[in-house]
Amino acid sequence: MNADDFGLTAGVNRAIVELHLAGVLTSTTLMARAAATDEAIEIARATPSLGVGCHVVLVDGEPVLRPRQDLVWLADPRVGRFRPSLSGFLGDLYRRGPRRKLLGEIEAEAGAQIAFLQSRGVRLTHVDTHKHTHMFPAVLRPVLRAARAAGIGAVRNPFEPAWSSRATPGAPWVRRVQVALLRRLESTFLRIVTEEGFVTTGGSVGVLATGTLDSATVASLLSAMPEGTFELVSHPGYNDSDLAQAHTRLLASRETERGALETLKQFAAVKLISFADLRPAAVARAKV
């Protein structure tokens, strides 16, 4: 079970470490440039049983590299930040003009974020991306190249399985359509992951339920889960004043998710692992 946005705020950090100590959270992904990154790094170093990956941020965040000198296309030099929306990022990504330079900057920035965390003593188990940007092939390859250069060999499969979608009753229909359409990219994703020599899971459970993941939904998902290795994606936290300033649409839902994840204690048959345990031989029998 993986929690995103480690480092976003002190309240998010607190929720993640509490859930790990409670035995229901095995993994998290850390943002290299966020308000509480330094605290998260200290927690990661002091909690070796918690698997920690790099949550590569390419939109709606602050880069590690210099916006004006190193990220001419990827970041807005006027404000020193990435594009605020995924749509704006994708619009430039698939324009013919800046595409080649943008891909180079993606690899460089992903590598810089990974290197920053490793330089601070964090042993990274895997990579994923903020807003799942690596589901798009043009982003996936440079991110994987950066990760491989840093000795990382595991990546999130960001696609929600069909069985998981059916077991998510409360998801808005618009998001349900979006998830179904994006699933068309999965076969290309898996091919690239294999070609680049990475391991991944059978999919990400809970992506469809982002913002609506409550105890009933967690129970429904775990009850419907077939044999295999799946990542339960979550965004727990405390809805405090820091979170309100953190440029996230997930506020009250983080409190709901924090409580909902305790439901995992009712499913003793589900084996919890981290991405550090994800090996080709283990893929068929464990749950991340």
Residue 157 carries which DSSP code?
-
> CATH number, domain at 148?
3.20.20.370
pTM for the structure as a whole:
0.92
> Could you tell me if residue 201 is inside a domain?
yes
> Could you tell me if residue 283 is inside a domain?
no
Query: Which H or E run includes 17?
Result: helix 10-21
Q: State how many domains the chain has.
A: 1
Angle (deg, nearest 10), helices 215-224 and 252-260: 50
> Could you tell me if residue 222 is inside a domain?
yes
Domain membership of residue 169 as a residue range: 2-277
> Could you tell me if residue 285 is inside a domain?
no
> Could you tell me if residue 282 is inside a domain?
no
Residue 231: pLDDT band with limits 50, 70, 90: very high
> Could you tell me if residue 9 is inside a domain?
yes
Residue 92: pLDDT band with limits 50, 70, 90: confident
> Could you tell me if residue 255 is inside a domain?
yes
> Could you tell me if residue 132 is inside a domain?
yes
Q: Nearest Cα to 118, choosing from 141, 146, 145, 144?
A: 146
Rounded Cα–Cα distance for residues 21 and 42 (Å): 16
Q: Got the DSSP string for 78-95?
A: TTTEE-SSHHHHHHHHTS
174-230 pLDDT, tens digit each: 889 999 999 999 999 999 999 999 999 999 999 999 888 999 999 999 999 999 999
